[in-house]
Each structure stands twice: as structure tokens, then as C-alpha cells.
Amino acid sequence: MANVVVVGAQWGDEGKGKVVDIYTEYADEIVRYQGGNNAGHTLVVGDEKVVLHLIPSGVLHAGKRCVIGNGVVLDPEVFIMEVNRLKAAGRLEDDSTLLLSESLHIIMPYHKAIDIAREAKSGDKKIGTTGRGIGPCYEDKIGRRGVRLMDLIDPVAFSRKLRENLEEKNAILERLGEEPLNYNEIYRTYQDFAEILKKYMADTSLVLSKSVAAGKKLLFEGAQGTLLDVDHGTYPFVTSSSTCAGGAATGTGVSPREIHEVVGISKAYVTRVGSGPFPTELLEETGEKLRQVGGEFGATTGRPRRCGWFDAMVIRYAVRINGLTGIALTKLDVLSDFETIKVCTGYTFEGQALETLPAKLETFENCVPVYEELPGWNTDITGVRSFDQLPENAKKYVKRLEELAGCSIVMVSVGPRRDQTMMLKNPFGE
């Protein structure tokens, strides 16, 4: 038996959805442990593209139980729309296999309104949020003002919390120059949501602990990436939750002792969305080429992603922080049309080599990447189905990244479809 955590090893958008989709074949239950609908996982099934924002990617496999844990913040409207879309497409015939933690926090209209208003007034200091209310919802969670799912389905408790919170939130909105929100309108809308959500509610920590005791295989799915972790990322240009492997325990109520493998997902280059330091960013035609060939536009917002060369400093950091036991390398095919490919092997700051990523933002913003140049392969590899069939320079590139990371590459992807993936080692041990 093995329980596996999948994490982003860069700044998010690494292709976690596809990897989770592939690993789901070997798992019994798939658990989302943090974040909200500010992230999207794009999967290609046959010729169909499926984008999921809240529901675990494992929902596309019949008979697998999907759990949204207590570490997630849930927008009821988005969740319900996602369920309805999946049902309409014939991809969710039995929604009894979908569970919501009774302790997860609910995104309210005032969270979204405050999120958008703050960002609009930030000028050149914008964080780059999606405006989905994720950060303000986590603020209320930490400030002990949050509305949990168990509160939402209790009309009395919900009414009391809504009145208390609106008094404060409307004062904030008015200071930000926005109109106050109406209690009656929100109450009616959210009680309608409660009627739908209550059938999915469960003590998911207890459910999962019973699954572990029964020898079931769990697959934990996060959103975003290591460098967006609220504690370990490029603060303050981060998300508001624990995106690293440790978040799988706190965000689900499953003991850390029950996590056996941690697979970090990494592109063969690097991207990030929003503001913040990005040492290997390419601002000229090479970066635009990566963006266009790689289709680097956000699944949730459509925003163009910033693109850069592979950064071994970031990957080594992700290996250490998450305790990675393997790396799944995605989008190797995007590099097929480059004569030479650069890889960042380290940073210098004011002429001195750095051992790891600097915690201080101003230092990170002024790091100078040290590059190594490798030959490209100038061959379409999207049809390759085994590692041995890759061009020699492509194999050398993968092996070099493995050496620089200090961690085994256990999967290589050469296209968006399930069959364009080479599994070099299965973390479930099969």
C-alpha cells in the first residue's frame, strides 16, 4: 500500500491535473487538500479538453471516491456549476462518490468584492490575485470569523455569522469606495446553495482514516506550486494556503505518517502567473515562443503566463521542502524546436554564489541566474511512447535535469493526452 501526494514543484500550472488523472488508475480515493477555484487543472481525454477548478481530477474515473478536504475554500456556486457540467457530459453518474469536508470554509460574496477592490487599488504593487475571494476567505479562517460548511447548512448559525461579518465587511467595502452588500439577498442565495451541498457533507477526516485502516490507496492533489506556498514561497507574491506536501496532512486530517510518496510536477521549462520574482524569465521572442508553443495561458483566467528556462535552484528547493521522492517532467515536447536550450544551475547575488533560494524578496528579485547550455533535438517527439525512443539529446536533457535536481524523474510527458506519457516508475509500486 502507498499513499501519494502530488505537488507543483515550481510556480503552479505544471500539469498536475494530467498526472493526477494518470495516477488515479492506481488509487482508490483522490483528495484535494488546499486552495480554491483560483486554480484550474486541464485534462485532455481523447479529443476532449476538461477543465476542473475544485473537484479532484480523479472524478473522470468511474468508481473512484473524490474528497474535498478541510484545507480547501469552496465557492458553492462554482462547485455546483462544476458538478452540473460533469453530469451533463456524462462524467459524473454517481455523485455519492463525491464528499465535502464539513469543516471546509465557504467563500462569500464579500470575500470576492474585497479581493477585487483591494487589487484595483494596489497599483504597481498588485499581487496578481484572480479576484475569486480566496485570500480574504483564508483571512477569515485564520481570524476565526469564517463560515464553514457545517455553519452554512445550519440556518440559525449561518444567519448570525452572516450578520456579524457583513457589519465588518460592508465597512471595509465602503472605505474602499464600493457599495455595501445586502444581507437578505446573500442569505437567500446561500441557503439555496446549502440545500444542494448538504448531501455531500461528511466528516472526511474520519472517512479517510477508515480508508487508510482498510488499506485503501489515497492520492492527494494540491493546487498551485511550491513557490506559491504562503510560508515557503516568494512572499508576498504567493497564494493563501499551504501548497507544499505538508498541506496534505493539515488540509485533510490524515496523519503525516500515512504519506509514503511525494511526486513533484515540473515543466521542462518554467512559468509563473502574476507578479513576483522570476530569475529565468525570458522577456523577448524566446519567451513568446515558449508561451505560444506551450499554450501558456491560465486555465482559470486566460492570463498569459510568464515563461523562462528551467531553474534547477527552484527544483532543488522543492525537493527539500516537500521531501520529493520523484519528479514528473511535463511538456518536454515544447522544447523540440530549439537549437540550444539553457538551464539555470544556480544564482549569484552581488557576485556571490547562493546556496538556496533567498527568503528576502529584494534579494530574490536581483538574483542573476547562472546558465548551462545544452543542445536541442529539433525533432517532433509527441509520438514517442518510451524513454528509450527519445532522441539522444532529449534523453541527455532529462538526465541532466535529474542530476541537477538530485531527485529521480519518474514520469516524462510529451503531449497533453494520457497516452503521451512515459511512466518510468510508479509511486504506487505497481
Place of cell 537549437: 339
Strand runs labelled E in 90-223: 98-101, 105-106, 201-202, 218-221
41 a catalytic residue: yes
CA dist 241 and 143 (Å) reads 14
Catalytic residue, chosen from 21, 28, 41, 232, is 41
Q: For residue 373, count CB atoms less than 10 angstroms from its CB and return exposed for 0-12, middle for 13-18, buried for 19 or more.
A: exposed
Other Cβ atoms less than 10 A from the Cβ of 389: the count is 12
**C-alpha grid cell, residue 356:** 538556496
Q: Are 357 and 294 in contact (CB under 8 A)?
A: no
Give bridge partners of residue 50 from the DSSP assignment. Answer: 43
Q: Which of 36, 16, 7 is nearest to 413 (CA)?
A: 16
SS3 string of 376-412? CCCCCCCCCCCHHHCCHHHHHHHHHHHHHHCCCEEEE
Could you tell me if 226 and 235 are in contact, meaning their C-beta atoms sit under 8 angstroms apart? no
Q: Could you tell me which of 337, 358, 339, 336 has the C-alpha nearest to residue 347?
A: 358
Query: Whole-angstrom Cα distance, residue 198 to residue 220?
Result: 23
Q: Assess whether 260 carries a catalytic annotation.
A: no
CA distances from 408 to 178, 329, 397, 400, 420 (A): 51, 10, 13, 11, 20
Catalytic residue among 13, 28, 311, 333: 13
Is the omega angle on the peptide bond into residue 391 within 30 degrees of 0, that is, cis? no
Report strand pairing: 98-101 vs 201-202. parallel
Phi and psi of 281, rounded to 5°?
-60, 135
State the Cα–Cα distance between residues 400 and 392, nearest whole angstrom. 12
**Rounded to whole angstroms, what are the CA distances from 253 to 210, 248, 321?**
12, 8, 20
The catalytic residues are 13, 41
